[in-house]
Amino acid sequence: MWTQLCSLVLLTRSALALPDGLHPTPPMGWTSWNTFFENNSQVKMISQMDALLDLGLDKFGYNFLTIDDFWQLPERDSVTGRMVEDPEKFPDGIKYLADYFHSNGIKIGMYSSAGRFTCSGFLPGSLGYEKTDVEMLVEYEIDYFKYDNCYPKADGTTNTGTGVNIDLAASSEHYPSLWQDPDEESRYAPMAAELAAVKDVRNITFEMCAWGFGNVETFGAGFGHLWRTSQDITDTWNGMLWNIDVNDENRYRQEGVQGPYNGWNYPDGLFVGKGGMTDTEYRTMFALWCLVKSPLMLGTDLTTLTRESEAYKIITNEKLLAINQDPLGIQGQCVKDCCSHGSTGGLTSPTTCFHFDHSWQVWAGPLSEGAFVVVIVNRFDKEESIVMDWAVDAAIPLGTYQLENLWTGSQLGPVVVGGEVWEAAQWKGILQAHDNWTFKLTPEQ
């Protein structure tokens, strides 16, 4: 299976390419929403940048800091038509922050929505103001733009009592992708066009926070650099599993959807260190996000971390970061006891998939130079005695490999995939509840 997938990637490289080549590997950084929600401010953004630099996270590749929703006033400027910063939250303005960040070698991101309002429900979105808002981004020297998916109708009304206006007929036709009216592609296209028009002046990373709606996988690569594949994540074990299951749907792993020459599937931000899960669960989250080549956007208060904290050790694991940034860029996938590979995808996996919390899964994917990464996840709420066959359970091609534990860095010697038990053709051990083993298999020369 992996040989065919690698060949498809190589064949499409000459035909499909991001027009700018801005992110040949997944972008990395920090975003304000999962840390501060609506209570962000200039002071808080500066505190996060200072902490990021003090911790040396920029040296590992975390170099974007994004201002999420609630940065603006409820009304646009009556003369210019531009959105206006909330002077109580950002007294010196966004341009001041951009200059300060850039002077420290850090990139800055901003937020809006492809709708009448942002997901706040009352702050202005960018629908119909795409050109005006891109002019603002350029003037402020913004590096990253997150574009949400709320209140899609021009009058701001919806049929759900929330910010979502579901098109029932289209959603039924395209399930498991839900659709809104107006649809996602028609609303994201004008912003993509305006960003493309200024690319030679300022090349802005474009995140389409479409939640997997509107079959974003069919147009994402033509519009931007990364796209959300799933619902908003929660800082819980089940919430994390749900998002990674949805991200593993067949539609996201099709030829030409994701990779260095297309863009990146994004199952939402990382909660490592925030406190809703255990360190063990955060280790599993980070391993899976690295395996699927997700953008790595931190969502915890960086001022609470130290270089000795477990969360810091997780997010700076250089072995796993190398997996995430591997130049081949193929999304790893579930290969044993999977929850989202059928026609119904992963949208209902917490309630309809037996394996959701009754399995030890295997996730695997190819790397450059013929290597493979394997993550074994215990989704049970208890420890499990595991016997895993590298060929049968992990779908690794037959051959002899050097085995490395990516959490400890330990070299575990040769394994003969497809060989005898005494040739380490199986991996055996007891895996604690919600924990993972993560390995790299490098072919012997």
The residues annotated with a catalytic role in the active site are 148, 232
CA dihedral 286, 346, 258, 366 (to 10 degrees): 60
CB count within 10 Å of CB 398 equals 11
User: Distance between CA 67 and CA 77 in Å, rounded?
Assistant: 20
Tell me how far the alpha carbon of residue 41 is from its chain's centroid: 24
Secondary structure class of 426 (helix, strand, coil)? strand
Q: What is residue 243's three-state secondary structure?
A: helix
Cα 437 vs. chain centroid, distance in angstroms? 21
> Do residues 414 and 439 touch, judged by C-beta distance below 8 A?
no
Q: Beta strands 144-148 and 205-208: pairing type? A: parallel
Neighbours of 104 (CB within 10 A): 13
Alpha-carbon span 322 to 100, nearest angstrom: 30
Q: Which amino acid is at 164?
A: V
Please say whether the dihedral angle defined by the alpha carbons of residues 136, 223, 157 and 111, taken in this order, is positive or negative.
Answer: negative
Helix (H) or strand (E) holding 287: helix 279-291
Q: Identify how many contiguous H helices and E strands the chain contains and give both numbers.
A: 13, 16
- Residues 380, 382, 386: CA angle, nearest 5 degrees: 75
Distance of CA 194 to the CA centre of its chain: 24
For residue 162, give both structure tokens.
């929330």
Task: With H, G, I as helix, E, B as strand and everything else as coil, classify residue 429.
Answer: strand
Sequence-separated (6 or more) residues with CB below 8 Å from residue 304: 273
Beta-ladder partners of 402: 414, 442
**Residue whose C-alpha is closest to residue 321's, from 60, 65, 106:** 60
**Token pair of 99, please?**
């200059």
Nearest-5° Cα angle at 383, 380 to 389: 85
Phi, psi (5° rounding) for residue 178? -85, 150
Which residues does residue 361 pair with via DSSP β-bridges, in sequence order? 377
